[in-house]
Structure formats: C-alpha cells, structure tokens
Structure 1
Amino acid sequence: MVSPVDIEVVNRQLASVAEEMGIVLQRSAFSANIKERRDFSCAVFDGAGRLLAQAAHIPVHLGAMPLTVERVLARRRPGPGDVVLTNDPFLGGTHLPDLTLVAGVFAGAADREPLFYLVTRAHHADVGGRTPGSMGLARRIEDEGVRIPPVALVRGGRLDREVLDGFLARVRNPAEREGDLRAQLAALERGRRRLLDLVGREGPESFCRKLPPLLDYGERVMRAAVSALPDGEYRFEDALDDDGLGSRPVPIRVRLLVRGDEAVVDFGASAGQVETGLNTVRSVTCSAVAYVFFCLAGGDYPLNHGSLRPIEVRTRPGSLLDARPPAPVAAGNVETSQRIVDCLLGALAQAAPDRVPAAACGSMNNVAVGGSGGGAGGSGYAYYET
C-alpha cells in the first residue's frame, strides 16, 4: 500500500529533478533565448513513456512532450548511453526551432529496459531555412529550416559527430547551436544522476511501485475538476485576422462536451490548413488544451499522464489545428496556440463563468534579426527573442 505521503514525496522528488535539469540547461546555454528568456522545458517519464513530472517551464512544450516520446519510442528507442534528437513537428514536436532530446535512464549498463526517460526541449535561435530565426513567412515546412526525424545524437555515451555536423552545416550561428545542444545534454546527465540517486536510496522496485499511484492521483484530481462543471455542450468561436497573405479571417471553432468527470474538446469545425506557418500540428493543439485544464484544476497537484486521461481532444487531419506535411507550422506554435487557449476558455466561461478570466490578447510578439556572412566561416548570424 502506497500512502498519500509517499505519493506526495515522490511527486516532489521527480519535479525537483525536472527543475534541476532546467537550472543546468539555463546556466550552460549559449544563446540569450535560452539563457535569459528561458525558452526551454524539462520533464521526467516512466519506463513506459508516461509523463511523471514536469518543471514549471513552457506550457506549449510540455503538453506536446508525451506525443514526442511516444513517437520516438516507436521509431528509435534509446538504449543505455543513447540520446535521440528530433524536431519534427509532425512526430509530436511543436515547430522546427524546438530541438528535443530524449534519453533513457537505466539502473545498469547491461540493463535493456529503462527505469525512466528524460526529455529536454529548447528553442534554438536558428535552425536554417530561408530567413534568420527560422520563423519567416514560409509556404512549405522545408522553407522554415532543417527537419530532423528521430536520430541518435549520442550512441553508447559517445557523441555522433557526423550527425551533429550535419545539423550544424545547415544553420546560422553553428557554434551557438552546438553550445545550446551541449547544454541540453548536460541537463539530461544531471537528471540521470539525480534519478539514480533517488532510486538507489531504496531500490528500483520500491521506488517504482509508487509511480502508478502517482498517476492515479493526477487522474482523480482532474476528474474532480471536470465533474465540478455542469454537464452540457458549450461552443465558442474566434479567428485569426488572416493567414498572413491578406485572406479573410481564419476561424477556430471549439465544441466542449462535458459528461460527468470526462470532457471532449472538439475542434473539427475549424478552418482547413493555410498556406503559411500559422498552422498548428495536433501536438500543439493538445498542449493548449492541457494548459487550460491544468489551469482549471488549479492548486498544486501532479501534472502527469494520469491528469490527461479524462480529456479527449478531437481534431480534423489537414485542418488549421492538425496540419499535415508539407504545411509550414512555425507561427502556429507561438501565435495560433494562444488563440486556441482563448477559444477553449471562452467555452469554459459558459460552464463556469466565475472561474474563467477575461480574454487575453491571444497573440505574441516574435523578433528575429539576422543576416548572411557574419558568422563563423561565413555562416551568417541570427538573434531571436519574444
């Protein structure tokens, strides 16, 4: 029997690991966007790829990470000493500048099954593409930068220089990009050591038997939050001003269905995908939904895989909120995601008007400055911030 005290202790321990990973990443990073603006996120998953704990970092990163881990484990499961790199938005990523590293934590070098997985995601100031900052007015995903499917950046504890150099050859500020990637690797190593220290105090079996009750606790709290809403169907609609090319407004429509302690969030009636990077991938849409329901639950409780069980998100493939290749998606992560949040809050305001705040601006400023020929070896330079 796992007591409530044990659940809370392990929750705090795992959250502290994610927070400490973030501290290492911030202090080690080269770019202002990561070091000063802290555009990064860290999380801990169990050996089955289920979210256990996350630091208080970037919501749009964190809500997408479960799908990233799922896709990485299906395609290139990291073994002992391996680190997998990806930024593919269509495989659980967000947009190309967000580079994600996934590593397993193994009790011993001979073990084949991991105790945990660790994830870091950081927004790199440039990942190639037509414009500095990789956030330009693109018509296709390849115009936004280099797209990386899950690939082993580290194999058996050794950095694969060929993989790294292949990436650096396609970006501006390659020295800064390498520095930020190494900062992410350092964060993973700190997380690995901390987790093994925690497990070593009582043994893997004793520690890991507390994890399923932790997930169940997250589920119970979220179900209680949803059950406090009146049963019913709630609709709300908002729109992007245009697609960036002078089109008419681009509608985002949500239908929220509440039945008991479960909720369905349906965006199927929203606009089709557009020609520019205002599209979002499904993982970003799910991130926005998770953020809203975490806010609804309130308080200081576990945000984990169990918390997401009562919420079903429906999207239409090929739409603005579930774009498919070759659609560009850079701005969907930073702009459209915020309008999704506003739409869902608008629907929730009908169910719980005393708990939902007034609408926010639903927008975001992004500044990218760069040019050609100014970096090391004439690679150009780029500076990005929001």
Structure 2
Amino acid sequence: MTGRGRSFDPITLEVLRNALEATAQEMGATLKLTSFSPNIKERMDASCAIFDARAQLVAQAEHVPVHLGSMLKAVGPTLEAVGRLEPGDVVIVNDPFVGGAHLPDITLIAPAFAEGGLLGYVAARAHHSDVGGMEPGSMPGRSGEIYQEGIVIPPVRLYARGELQADILRLVLANVRTAAERRGDLNAQLAALRIGERRLAELARRYGAPLLAEGFAAILDYAERRMLRRIAELPAGSYFAEDRLDDDGSGDEPVVIRLRVDVGRDRLTLDFAGSAPQRRGNINAVAPMTHSASFFALKILTDATIPANAGLLRPVEIRIPKGSFLDAQPPAAVCAGNTETTQRIADTVLRAFAQIAPERIPAASQGTMNLIGVGGIDPRSGRPYTYIETIAGGQGGRPGGPGMDGVQCNMTNTMNTPVEALEISYPLRVERYELREGSGGAGRHRGGHGVVRSLTVLGEEARVSLQSDRRRFAPYGLHGGADGARGRNWVREAGGDEREVPGKVSLTLRAGDTVGVETPGGGGWGSASGG
C-alpha cells in the first residue's frame, strides 16, 4: 500500500469514487445509444473503464466481466507498445496476445490530460459482429490458428493528435464483411471515449489534477485494504478443484482445468498447475482471460462493496503454467477462450472457493455462453449480414435461494436481442424462445432453468457457427444438490427431422432450415431432502 490519499477525507473519496464509476457508466450508455449493430445497441456487448496514469484500473461500470477483468491486465502492454500518447491520440487494438481478448473485441484507448499533464486513460471495448476470418461473425466452430479468426490489429494510433489515420481505418474495413456497421460501432466507441475525457477534465477542474491523481491512488489503496481484511477472515489452508471443457473443437478429448488455492494471513494464491496444454482447437485463453475469470470469482468470494479495481488484486497471486491452454501463445486460435474457457475457469475457481466460504458460493451456473453466429447475403439489400448472440441459461442455486431462470451468468451479463429487433435486422425468424422447464438441478435451492431458442433461415443459404459447452459435462451441484441439465444443439432441415450437432461447429443452412440451442440449467444447492 502506498499510504497516499491523505488529503481526501472518507466522504470526499467516496464521492470521487462514485463520480468515476458514473463516468464509466455514462461512457457505456453513450456507446450503446450511438452504436450501429444490434449486438451493441440491443445487447450491450461492450464495456468501459478508467485507468490512472500508470495504466492501473481505477473504475469500471457494471458491464461485461470478461471484458473488464481482461482490460485490467491488457491496457498496460498496449500502451507500452505504442509509446507516449499526446492529446487527441486514440489507440486501437484487438491482438489477443497484446490486448488480452479475442479478435471481435476491439478496444479503443485514449489519454486524458488536464493542466498540461496526463491524468489517466479511458478505454472502450466492444464485441464487433464481424472482423473477417473464415466464417461470418468471426467465431468459427473449428478454427486452428488465429489467422482463421479475423484481422489482427496490433496496437496502433487510429487518431494522432486528433487527426483520423484514414489508412488504418481503410485497412480494417477492407477486411470485414460488414464495413458500414463496423465504422458506426467504432465511432460509437470514440464517442464514449470523448465523454470519459470530458468528465475527467471536469473532475480535474473541481479538485485539481495533482489531488485527483492522489485520489486515484487512495481508491486503489482502499480496495487493497478491504481485500486484505477479507483474506484475513478466511480459513487458512490449501484447497483444490478441477473441472473440464467438453472438448477443444478439434477432437473429443476433454480439456482439464486444475486449481490449487492457498489462503495465507495476507495473501491469496491461485495456481493452475496441472491444467491441459495449449490445444489445436480454439478454446485457448490468453493470460488476461484467466486473470479476468479469477477476478470475477474473487468478487463473489469477497464483498460486493469492495471497489472492482486493480487494488483488489494486489494481495492476490495468479500462477498460470507456461505452455498451458490458459496462457495461449501465438499463433493459437483463441476465439472460444473468451466465451467458453473463461466460464469454466470461473466454475473451477468458485468450486474451490465453495470449500472456503460455503455460505457465499452458488452451485455452477450454465457454464457456457452458447454463442451462435449466422451470416450470409441479405436478400432484402443484397449485402452481407452477420448476426451474433450469446444465449442465456440457468443460474446455479444459491445459499440463500434458487438460481434465476434464463439469465446470462458469470463472465457475461449482456442482454438478449429482442425478437422484433432480430427479425427486422436479419433474414431470420425466431421460431421458439422459451424456458427449458426442468433443466435446473434439484436441491434445497434448485438451479435456474435454461432456455430454448431456435432460428429459421429466410433468405439464401447461411453459414452458422456455434460455440458452446456443457454438452457432455453438466453444471455441478453443491452440498448435495443435483447437477443441472446439459445443453443441446440441433438442426432441422426444411421438412425434415431434428439432428443433434456438436457444441463447437460451423455448417451451412438453406432457406427454411432451423437451428436450435437448448441451454444448460444451473446446478442445485443443498440436498432436496434437507439432510
């Protein structure tokens, strides 16, 4: 701890902290309201955050956990790659091995200046519905290397001293299927950054830039102190957990995650030694993704009122074995590392934490994002379209009550695309959208039910990609609760019968064909008999 922030009394510091979180929230609202794609304007598959001058996460909105936790570890390396930024500069990046995400998650970062000095940085990350690659939507079911998943954008200046670098933008847009939509969403991200810069400048005028920097440090120190107090309350010892992904998309072999958690007096260590090596398929996760899922689980273990910033992680060590699929190295395929592997990391960490603080930890939620991507040519316009969505499922039963039905869980909290918006935007028809009754695991507090969602292709043929898991290994129950139901994917050709398809696959559908996703239920918590 630095001991800085002595000029801020507790009330003023809390006012400042809430002002920063409100700024991140306003950035997100601006992004949502000005975006072009349904994936952002309807689902809010985007996140915004604020960093200090040392690229430490100071404040975030309650956006998408998989984005926010990974930005915590990715903004610093991105800034190191581009060097000193000037007023008006904006950096763009989606390179997973620097920016810490998968390719569809494009991040824009801008510096915020006041009184002639650097205050910090504002960042906006958004999942773009297409960034090129072998399949529409850039989430292929069975990619084997990063180059198949889309255009890789290293950290570069999209704006330099306020001037658009048009050649960079042209290069990006020339490699995607839906260029106008991508341009609109990038402009929405830029608008979010401008809001963030403006609000930080206002805070600097109110407090003065030096005092504001001191306040940033004090907010991080406060989170660290709260985390240290929480660690001291936990029972010391070593705790072990294991879980697995169904497969990596290239074969049938399960992919194991192993974890040891060591609780000391003032230190918490998460060690993933023994986890599976890097895979041929696309479930590999870059290290910031592993940090992101661990960060999420730590928030559940601790206290919702502890600020979610870099200070919270100071007393925590996360060890990721080199060569494992939890620390992917180029040219690994990584698109499902975000959507599927982070969910299983979170499940594994929470399973260990359930031994430490059973009164706080729920049973496993659905453990997958059930991502579906559909693309082709829209007969109404003659232009390419790309639809992308993650589908809700069952939440795990909780110590204090049942799991919720049909919600996004753990590493994503995006909304669904409303049926009307989907059918207006794409040549698709929603045939079914309903709860999957009986899919929640039984228990004293049952798991939440999953959902059934099916789409019929109306136009010409379309390519469909599915990224899903928990089709072989069910979401676990806790303390005698039953497992939740496994998920299921199927296709029904026009006039034909349903046939089951793998959890990770890309295939062609023709007009009148239907694809369906039945999502997992959450595990039950506690014995149904009360014993």
Give the TM-score category using the shorter length. over 0.9
Farther off after superposition, 263-272 or 240-249: 240-249
Which residue among 253, 256, 278 is the counterpart of 1:251? Answer: 256
Which residue among 50, 58, 63 is the counterpart of 1:52? Answer: 58
Deviations 1:253-297 (Å, cap 9, x if unpaired)? 011111112111011210001111111110000000001111222
| Structure 1 partner of 2:491 | none
Q: How far did 1:372 drift?
A: 5.4
| Structure 1 partner of 2:91 | 84
Amino acid in structure 1 at the alignment position of 2:206: R
Q: Which has the higher contact order (CA 8 A, sep 6+)?
A: 1
| Structure 2 partner of 1:236 | 241
1:287 aligned onto 2:292: yes
Deviations 1:296-333 (Å, cap 9, x if unpaired)? 22232321111110111111122111111111000110
Which residue among 364, 372, 382 is the counterpart of 1:359? Answer: 364
Confirm or deny: 8 A CA contact 1:99 1:121 kept in the other structure. Answer: yes
Confirm or deny: 8 A CA contact 1:15 1:53 kept in the other structure. Answer: yes
| Structure 1 partner of 2:18 | 12
Confirm or deny: 8 A CA contact 1:130 1:144 kept in the other structure. Answer: yes
| Structure 1 partner of 2:31 | 25
Confirm or deny: 8 A CA contact 1:126 1:172 kept in the other structure. Answer: yes
Query: Which of the two has greater strand per residue?
Result: 2
Confirm or deny: 8 A CA contact 1:375 1:381 kept in the other structure. Answer: no
Amino acid in structure 2 at the alignment position of 1:105: A
How do 1:15-164 residues align onto structure 2 when only pairs under 5 Å count? 15-77=21-83, 78-107=85-114, 111=116, 113-136=117-140, 137-164=142-169
Confirm or deny: 8 A CA contact 1:53 1:303 kept in the other structure. Answer: yes
> What secondary structure is seen at the aligned counterpart in 1 of 2:114?
coil
Amino acid in structure 1 at the alignment position of 2:38: A
- Alpha-carbon distance in structure 2 between the residues aligned to 1:200 and 1:307: 28
Which residue among 366, 374, 389 is the counterpart of 1:369? Answer: 374
Deviations 1:191-236 (Å, cap 9, x if unpaired)? 1111111111232123222221111101011112222211111111
Query: Which of the two has greater helix per residue?
Result: 1
| Structure 2 partner of 1:383 | 387
**Distance of aligned partners of 1:153 and 1:223 in 2 relative to their CA distance in 1, 3 Å threshold:** same
Amino acid in structure 1 at the alignment position of 2:130: D
Aligned residues: 382
Which residue among 176, 179, 184 is the counterpart of 1:174? Answer: 179
Q: Give percent identity, aligned residues only.
A: 49
Amino acid in structure 1 at the alignment position of 2:146: I
Amino acid in structure 2 at the alignment position of 1:116: G
1:270 aligned onto 2:304: no
- Alpha-carbon distance in structure 1 between the residues aligned to 2:228 and 2:192: 33
| Structure 2 partner of 1:330 | 335
- Alpha-carbon distance in structure 1 between the residues aligned to 2:27 and 2:89: 18
Q: CA RMSD in A?
A: 1.5
Confirm or deny: 8 A CA contact 1:173 1:375 kept in the other structure. Answer: no
- Alpha-carbon distance in structure 1 between the residues aligned to 2:235 and 2:306: 23
Amino acid in structure 2 at the alignment position of 1:10: L
- Alpha-carbon distance in structure 1 between the residues aligned to 2:383 and 2:324: 36
Amino acid in structure 2 at the alignment position of 1:117: Y
- Alpha-carbon distance in structure 1 between the residues aligned to 2:282 and 2:376: 21
- Alpha-carbon distance in structure 2 between the residues aligned to 1:242 and 1:211: 43
Q: How far did 1:367 drift?
A: 1.3
- Alpha-carbon distance in structure 2 between the residues aligned to 1:307 and 1:138: 36
> What secondary structure is seen at the aligned counterpart in 1 of 2:350?
helix
Which residue among 202, 214, 217 is the counterpart of 1:212? Answer: 217
> What secondary structure is seen at the aligned counterpart in 1 of 2:323?
coil
> What secondary structure is seen at the aligned counterpart in 2 of 1:172?
coil
Structure 2, unmatched stretches of 5+, are 1-5, 391-531
| Structure 1 partner of 2:9 | 3
Q: How far did 1:30 drift?
A: 0.3
Amino acid in structure 2 at the alignment position of 1:87: N
Structure 1, unmatched stretches of 5+, are none
> What secondary structure is seen at the aligned counterpart in 2 of 1:115?
strand
> What secondary structure is seen at the aligned counterpart in 1 of 2:118?
coil
> What secondary structure is seen at the aligned counterpart in 2 of 1:215?
helix
Over 4 Å off, 4+ runs: 372-376
> What secondary structure is seen at the aligned counterpart in 1 of 2:257?
strand
Confirm or deny: 8 A CA contact 2:104 2:128 kept in the other structure. Answer: yes
- Alpha-carbon distance in structure 2 between the residues aligned to 1:235 and 1:89: 29
| Structure 1 partner of 2:402 | none
- Alpha-carbon distance in structure 2 between the residues aligned to 1:159 and 1:259: 51
Amino acid in structure 1 at the alignment position of 2:66: V
Which residue among 301, 304, 310 is the counterpart of 1:305? Answer: 310
Q: How far did 1:374 drift?
A: 7.2
Confirm or deny: 8 A CA contact 1:282 1:321 kept in the other structure. Answer: yes
